[in-house]
Amino acid sequence: MNQIKVLAPATVANVVCGFDCLGFAIAEPNDEMTVRVISEKEVRIINHDHYNLPTDARKNVAGAALFALLEKAGADHGFEVEIKKNIKPGSGIGSSAASAGGAVVAANRLLNDRFSPLELVDLAMDGEKIASGERHADNVAPCIYGGFTLVRSLNPIDVVALEFPPMFVTVLHPQIEIVTAVARQMLPVQVPLKDAIRQWSNVGALVAALSKGDYDLIARSLEDFLIEPVRKTLIPHFDRVKLESKCAGALGGGISGSGPSIFMLSETEEIAAKVEGAMREVYKNSGIEFFTYVSKINTGGVKFID
Ligand code: HSE
Protein backbone atom coordinates (compact mmCIF):
# COMPACT_ATOMS: atom_id res chain seq x y z
CA MET A 1 0.00 0.00 0.00
CA ASN A 2 1.61 3.26 -1.03
CA GLN A 3 -1.41 5.49 -1.51
CA ILE A 4 -4.42 6.39 0.61
CA LYS A 5 -7.55 8.36 -0.18
CA VAL A 6 -9.51 10.17 2.53
CA LEU A 7 -12.45 12.49 3.09
CA ALA A 8 -11.65 15.26 5.57
CA PRO A 9 -14.71 16.92 7.12
CA ALA A 10 -15.59 20.56 7.62
CA THR A 11 -15.66 21.71 11.23
CA VAL A 12 -17.22 24.42 13.36
CA ALA A 13 -14.75 25.92 15.83
CA ASN A 14 -15.46 27.88 19.01
CA VAL A 15 -19.10 26.66 19.26
CA VAL A 16 -20.04 30.15 20.47
CA CYS A 17 -18.62 30.21 24.02
CA GLY A 18 -15.50 28.05 23.58
CA PHE A 19 -13.09 30.28 21.66
CA ASP A 20 -10.06 28.25 20.59
CA CYS A 21 -11.10 25.21 22.64
CA LEU A 22 -14.47 23.79 21.50
CA GLY A 23 -15.30 22.43 18.06
CA PHE A 24 -17.32 19.83 16.20
CA ALA A 25 -17.16 18.13 12.81
CA ILE A 26 -19.98 18.19 10.28
CA ALA A 27 -20.91 15.40 7.89
CA GLU A 28 -20.78 17.60 4.76
CA PRO A 29 -18.84 19.07 3.00
CA ASN A 30 -15.56 17.09 2.90
CA ASP A 31 -12.27 17.67 1.12
CA GLU A 32 -11.04 14.72 -0.97
CA MET A 33 -7.36 13.95 -0.59
CA THR A 34 -5.02 11.28 -1.90
CA VAL A 35 -1.62 10.92 -0.27
CA ARG A 36 1.12 8.69 -1.68
CA VAL A 37 4.68 7.85 -0.69
CA ILE A 38 7.42 9.14 -2.99
CA SER A 39 11.09 8.27 -2.79
CA GLU A 40 12.30 11.88 -2.83
CA LYS A 41 12.50 13.55 0.61
CA GLU A 42 10.05 16.28 -0.30
CA VAL A 43 6.35 17.12 -0.30
CA ARG A 44 4.56 17.67 -3.61
CA ILE A 45 1.16 19.35 -3.80
CA ILE A 46 -1.30 18.81 -6.65
CA ASN A 47 -4.44 20.98 -6.42
CA HIS A 48 -7.61 19.84 -8.21
CA ASP A 49 -9.72 22.94 -7.68
CA HIS A 50 -9.84 26.59 -8.65
CA TYR A 51 -8.80 28.14 -5.35
CA ASN A 52 -5.21 28.86 -6.39
CA LEU A 53 -3.80 27.55 -3.13
CA PRO A 54 0.02 27.48 -2.88
CA THR A 55 1.81 24.56 -4.51
CA ASP A 56 4.98 25.45 -2.61
CA ALA A 57 4.57 22.81 0.07
CA ARG A 58 6.16 24.93 2.83
CA LYS A 59 3.47 27.55 2.25
CA ASN A 60 0.64 25.06 1.84
CA VAL A 61 -1.40 23.98 4.88
CA ALA A 62 -1.35 20.27 3.96
CA GLY A 63 2.32 20.53 2.97
CA ALA A 64 3.42 22.12 6.24
CA ALA A 65 1.57 19.47 8.24
CA LEU A 66 3.19 16.70 6.17
CA PHE A 67 6.65 18.18 6.67
CA ALA A 68 6.03 18.17 10.43
CA LEU A 69 4.97 14.52 10.27
CA LEU A 70 7.96 13.48 8.10
CA GLU A 71 10.34 15.20 10.49
CA LYS A 72 8.81 13.60 13.58
CA ALA A 73 8.87 10.19 11.88
CA GLY A 74 12.50 10.66 10.78
CA ALA A 75 11.35 9.36 7.38
CA ASP A 76 13.76 8.84 4.48
CA HIS A 77 11.05 9.46 1.86
CA GLY A 78 8.44 12.12 1.06
CA PHE A 79 4.77 12.42 0.15
CA GLU A 80 2.75 13.60 -2.79
CA VAL A 81 -0.75 14.86 -2.03
CA GLU A 82 -3.62 15.49 -4.41
CA ILE A 83 -6.28 17.78 -2.98
CA LYS A 84 -9.79 18.50 -4.19
CA LYS A 85 -11.18 21.12 -1.89
CA ASN A 86 -14.93 21.11 -1.49
CA ILE A 87 -14.62 23.34 1.58
CA LYS A 88 -14.04 26.86 0.37
CA PRO A 89 -10.99 28.56 1.93
CA GLY A 90 -11.96 31.50 4.14
CA SER A 91 -15.49 30.20 4.68
CA GLY A 92 -15.16 29.67 8.44
CA ILE A 93 -15.92 25.96 8.42
CA GLY A 94 -12.40 24.66 8.87
CA SER A 95 -11.08 24.56 5.32
CA SER A 96 -7.44 24.71 6.41
CA ALA A 97 -8.01 22.18 9.19
CA ALA A 98 -9.47 19.71 6.69
CA SER A 99 -6.37 20.04 4.49
CA ALA A 100 -4.01 19.61 7.45
CA GLY A 101 -6.03 16.94 9.25
CA GLY A 102 -6.76 14.89 6.13
CA ALA A 103 -3.11 15.00 5.08
CA VAL A 104 -1.68 13.75 8.38
CA VAL A 105 -4.32 11.05 8.91
CA ALA A 106 -3.75 9.67 5.40
CA ALA A 107 0.05 9.88 5.68
CA ASN A 108 -0.04 8.24 9.10
CA ARG A 109 -1.89 5.24 7.67
CA LEU A 110 0.92 4.90 5.12
CA LEU A 111 3.31 4.81 8.10
CA ASN A 112 1.24 1.98 9.65
CA ASP A 113 -0.50 4.31 12.10
CA ARG A 114 2.71 5.18 13.90
CA PHE A 115 1.18 8.25 15.57
CA SER A 116 -1.86 8.51 17.82
CA PRO A 117 -4.80 10.81 16.96
CA LEU A 118 -3.56 13.20 19.66
CA GLU A 119 -0.10 13.36 18.06
CA LEU A 120 -1.74 13.94 14.68
CA VAL A 121 -3.65 16.93 16.07
CA ASP A 122 -0.33 18.37 17.25
CA LEU A 123 1.24 17.84 13.80
CA ALA A 124 -1.77 19.19 11.91
CA MET A 125 -1.49 22.44 13.88
CA ASP A 126 1.75 23.16 12.00
CA GLY A 127 -0.43 23.39 8.90
CA GLU A 128 -3.16 25.38 10.62
CA LYS A 129 -0.57 27.96 11.63
CA ILE A 130 0.07 28.77 7.95
CA ALA A 131 -3.58 29.85 7.56
CA SER A 132 -4.30 31.61 10.83
CA GLY A 133 -0.86 32.73 11.99
CA GLU A 134 -1.24 30.77 15.23
CA ARG A 135 -1.35 27.16 16.37
CA HIS A 136 -4.93 26.42 17.40
CA ALA A 137 -6.55 22.99 17.48
CA ASP A 138 -10.28 23.66 17.75
CA ASN A 139 -10.77 22.76 14.07
CA VAL A 140 -8.10 20.07 13.57
CA ALA A 141 -9.13 18.14 16.72
CA PRO A 142 -12.77 17.56 15.65
CA CYS A 143 -11.64 17.01 12.06
CA ILE A 144 -9.41 14.13 13.19
CA TYR A 145 -11.55 12.78 16.07
CA GLY A 146 -15.04 13.52 14.73
CA GLY A 147 -17.93 14.67 16.94
CA PHE A 148 -17.40 17.39 19.54
CA THR A 149 -13.99 17.96 21.09
CA LEU A 150 -12.53 20.22 23.74
CA VAL A 151 -8.89 21.21 23.55
CA ARG A 152 -7.84 21.51 27.20
CA SER A 153 -4.22 22.40 26.48
CA LEU A 154 -2.02 23.04 23.47
CA ASN A 155 1.30 22.50 25.15
CA PRO A 156 1.29 19.69 25.97
CA ILE A 157 -1.54 18.86 23.62
CA ASP A 158 -4.59 17.51 25.46
CA VAL A 159 -7.88 16.84 23.67
CA VAL A 160 -11.11 15.60 25.25
CA ALA A 161 -13.63 13.84 22.99
CA LEU A 162 -17.08 14.89 24.23
CA GLU A 163 -20.33 13.00 24.31
CA PHE A 164 -23.25 14.70 22.61
CA PRO A 165 -26.93 14.03 21.83
CA PRO A 166 -28.47 13.82 18.33
CA MET A 167 -28.39 17.25 16.68
CA PHE A 168 -28.40 18.80 13.22
CA VAL A 169 -26.50 21.83 12.08
CA THR A 170 -27.65 24.52 9.67
CA VAL A 171 -24.96 26.63 8.02
CA LEU A 172 -25.34 29.96 6.24
CA HIS A 173 -22.32 30.80 4.15
CA PRO A 174 -22.35 34.39 2.86
CA GLN A 175 -19.98 34.64 -0.10
CA ILE A 176 -17.60 37.08 1.52
CA GLU A 177 -14.14 36.14 2.76
CA ILE A 178 -12.82 36.68 6.26
CA VAL A 179 -9.14 35.94 6.76
CA THR A 180 -8.76 34.14 10.08
CA ALA A 181 -5.46 35.86 10.86
CA VAL A 182 -7.17 39.26 10.50
CA ALA A 183 -10.20 38.18 12.54
CA ARG A 184 -7.80 37.12 15.31
CA GLN A 185 -5.88 40.39 15.30
CA MET A 186 -9.04 42.35 16.08
CA LEU A 187 -9.72 40.49 19.33
CA PRO A 188 -9.04 42.04 22.74
CA VAL A 189 -5.80 40.99 24.43
CA GLN A 190 -7.35 41.36 27.88
CA VAL A 191 -10.96 40.87 28.97
CA PRO A 192 -12.82 41.94 32.13
CA LEU A 193 -12.88 39.24 34.80
CA LYS A 194 -16.70 39.38 35.04
CA ASP A 195 -16.98 38.55 31.32
CA ALA A 196 -14.40 35.78 31.64
CA ILE A 197 -16.44 34.26 34.49
CA ARG A 198 -19.63 34.29 32.42
CA GLN A 199 -17.72 32.77 29.51
CA TRP A 200 -16.16 29.83 31.35
CA SER A 201 -19.45 29.19 33.16
CA ASN A 202 -21.06 28.74 29.75
CA VAL A 203 -18.28 26.45 28.49
CA GLY A 204 -18.62 24.21 31.56
CA ALA A 205 -22.41 24.19 31.26
CA LEU A 206 -22.29 23.43 27.53
CA VAL A 207 -19.97 20.46 28.03
CA ALA A 208 -22.23 19.11 30.80
CA ALA A 209 -25.36 19.73 28.71
CA LEU A 210 -23.88 17.94 25.68
CA SER A 211 -23.00 14.91 27.77
CA LYS A 212 -26.42 14.81 29.50
CA GLY A 213 -28.33 15.52 26.30
CA ASP A 214 -29.96 18.48 28.05
CA TYR A 215 -31.17 20.54 25.07
CA ASP A 216 -32.48 23.42 27.20
CA LEU A 217 -29.12 23.82 28.89
CA ILE A 218 -27.34 23.60 25.52
CA ALA A 219 -29.53 26.48 24.35
CA ARG A 220 -28.84 28.56 27.48
CA SER A 221 -25.07 27.96 27.27
CA LEU A 222 -24.64 29.09 23.66
CA GLU A 223 -23.71 32.66 24.61
CA ASP A 224 -20.47 34.51 23.86
CA PHE A 225 -19.47 37.65 25.77
CA LEU A 226 -15.95 37.94 24.40
CA ILE A 227 -15.59 37.23 20.69
CA GLU A 228 -18.98 37.56 19.01
CA PRO A 229 -19.53 41.22 19.96
CA VAL A 230 -16.29 42.11 18.16
CA ARG A 231 -16.41 39.80 15.14
CA LYS A 232 -20.11 40.03 14.31
CA THR A 233 -19.40 43.46 12.82
CA LEU A 234 -17.71 41.59 9.92
CA ILE A 235 -20.87 39.63 9.06
CA PRO A 236 -23.83 41.51 7.56
CA HIS A 237 -27.22 40.84 9.23
CA PHE A 238 -25.66 38.60 11.88
CA ASP A 239 -28.07 39.59 14.68
CA ARG A 240 -31.15 39.09 12.50
CA VAL A 241 -29.98 35.68 11.30
CA LYS A 242 -29.48 34.63 14.90
CA LEU A 243 -32.83 35.99 16.06
CA GLU A 244 -34.84 34.50 13.19
CA SER A 245 -33.06 31.15 13.53
CA LYS A 246 -34.00 30.93 17.17
CA CYS A 247 -37.59 31.92 16.35
CA ALA A 248 -37.59 29.02 13.86
CA GLY A 249 -36.64 26.66 16.69
CA ALA A 250 -32.83 26.51 16.71
CA LEU A 251 -31.22 25.77 20.06
CA GLY A 252 -28.70 28.49 19.28
CA GLY A 253 -25.50 29.13 17.42
CA GLY A 254 -23.31 31.93 16.18
CA ILE A 255 -20.21 32.61 14.13
CA SER A 256 -18.61 29.44 12.79
CA GLY A 257 -14.91 29.76 13.61
CA SER A 258 -13.82 33.21 12.54
CA GLY A 259 -16.70 33.52 10.05
CA PRO A 260 -18.27 34.53 7.75
CA SER A 261 -20.34 31.33 8.05
CA ILE A 262 -23.02 31.28 10.72
CA PHE A 263 -24.09 27.95 12.22
CA MET A 264 -27.15 26.94 14.21
CA LEU A 265 -27.74 23.71 16.14
CA SER A 266 -31.19 22.10 16.17
CA GLU A 267 -32.68 19.09 17.86
CA THR A 268 -34.18 17.57 14.70
CA GLU A 269 -33.63 17.65 10.95
CA GLU A 270 -37.10 19.19 10.49
CA ILE A 271 -36.25 22.13 12.75
CA ALA A 272 -32.85 22.51 11.07
CA ALA A 273 -34.66 22.79 7.71
CA LYS A 274 -36.96 25.49 9.13
CA VAL A 275 -33.90 27.33 10.40
CA GLU A 276 -32.41 27.12 6.91
CA GLY A 277 -35.58 28.75 5.53
CA ALA A 278 -35.37 31.52 8.14
CA MET A 279 -31.72 32.21 7.27
CA ARG A 280 -32.53 32.36 3.56
CA GLU A 281 -35.36 34.80 4.23
CA VAL A 282 -32.97 37.19 5.99
CA TYR A 283 -30.32 36.99 3.27
CA LYS A 284 -32.46 36.82 0.12
CA ASN A 285 -32.59 40.59 -0.42
CA SER A 286 -29.19 41.37 1.07
CA GLY A 287 -27.42 41.66 -2.26
CA ILE A 288 -24.85 39.17 -0.95
CA GLU A 289 -24.57 35.75 -2.57
CA PHE A 290 -24.93 32.94 -0.08
CA PHE A 291 -25.28 29.18 0.35
CA THR A 292 -27.14 27.34 3.07
CA TYR A 293 -27.20 23.69 4.00
CA VAL A 294 -28.25 21.29 6.70
CA SER A 295 -25.84 18.61 7.87
CA LYS A 296 -25.56 15.87 10.43
CA ILE A 297 -22.72 15.91 12.93
CA ASN A 298 -19.75 13.89 11.62
CA THR A 299 -18.67 11.02 13.83
CA GLY A 300 -15.31 9.34 13.30
CA GLY A 301 -13.48 12.31 11.77
CA VAL A 302 -11.37 11.80 8.64
CA LYS A 303 -12.67 8.77 6.70
CA PHE A 304 -10.66 6.37 4.54
CA ILE A 305 -12.24 5.62 1.16
CA ASP A 306 -11.53 3.10 -1.66
N1 HSE B 1 -10.67 29.50 17.05
C2 HSE B 1 -10.28 30.00 15.78
C3 HSE B 1 -10.71 31.46 15.67
C4 HSE B 1 -10.96 29.19 14.71
O5 HSE B 1 -11.86 31.74 15.98
O6 HSE B 1 -9.88 32.30 15.31
C7 HSE B 1 -10.66 29.66 13.32
O8 HSE B 1 -11.37 28.81 12.42
Cα–Cα distances in angstroms (integers) from residue 273 to residues 110, 243, 288, in the given order? 40, 16, 21
Q: Distance, CA 26 to ligand 1 centroid (Å)?
A: 16
Please give the Cα distance from 171 to 83 (Å, whole number).
Answer: 23
Please give the Cα distance from 76 to 74 (Å, whole number).
Answer: 7
Q: Percentage of residues in the chain with pLDDT exceeding 90?
A: 92
pLDDT given at position 134: 86
* Residue 151: count of CB within 10 angstroms of its CB: 24
Q: pLDDT-based confidence at 72, cuts 50/70/90?
A: very high
pTM given for the model: 0.96
Report residues whose beta carbon is within 6 angstroms of any ligand 1 atom: 13-14, 19-20, 132, 136, 138-139, 180, 183-184, 257-258
Q: pLDDT-based confidence at 131, cuts 50/70/90?
A: confident
pLDDT in tens, 27-55: 999 999 999 999 999 999 999 988 889 89
* Phi, psi of 112, rounded to the nearest 5 degrees: 60, 40
pLDDT given at position 160: 98
- The best mutation among 132, 149, 182 to test binding of ligand 1, ranked by most ligand atoms within 8 Å of the C-beta, falls on 132
Q: pLDDT-based confidence at 176, cuts 50/70/90?
A: very high
Q: pLDDT-based confidence at 133, cuts 50/70/90?
A: confident
Q: Whose CA is nearest to atom 4 of ligand 1?
A: 257
* Residue 175: count of CB within 10 angstroms of its CB: 11
Domains in the chain (CATH in brackets) are 3-162+299-305 (3.30.230.10), 168-296 (3.30.70.890)
Work out whether strand 3-13 and strand 78-84 pair parallel, antiparallel, or are unpaired.
unpaired
For 233, which DSSP code? G
Q: Distance, CA 93 to ligand 1 centroid (Å)?
A: 9
Q: Whose CA is nearest to atom 7 of ligand 1?
A: 257
Close Cβ partners of 265 (under 8 Å, ≥ 6 residues apart): 167, 168, 169, 218, 222, 250, 251, 252, 253
Give yes or no for residue 87 having a pLDDT over 90.
yes
- CB burial of 7-44 (b: ≥16 within 10 Å; e: otherwise) equals bbbbbbbbbbbbbbbbbbbbbbbbbbbbbbbeeeeebb
Segment 254-267 shows an average pLDDT of 97
Q: Is 83 helix (H, G, I), strand (E, B) or coil?
A: strand
Q: Which atom of ligand 1 is nearest to the CA of 92?
A: 8
pLDDT given at position 281: 98
- The best mutation among 12, 14, 178 to test binding of ligand 1, ranked by most ligand atoms within 8 Å of the C-beta, falls on 14
Q: Distance, CA 140 to ligand 1 centroid (Å)?
A: 11
Q: pLDDT-based confidence at 129, cuts 50/70/90?
A: very high
Give yes or no for residue 306 having a pLDDT over 80.
no
Give yes or no for residue 285 having a pLDDT over 80.
yes
Segment 220-248 shows an average pLDDT of 97
pLDDT given at position 128: 93
Segment 49-78 shows an average pLDDT of 94
pLDDT in tens, 189-199: 999 999 999 99
- How confident is the prediction for the chain on average, in pLDDT? 96
Q: Distance, CA 183 to ligand 1 centroid (Å)?
A: 8
Tell me which residues are annotated as active site.
128, 180
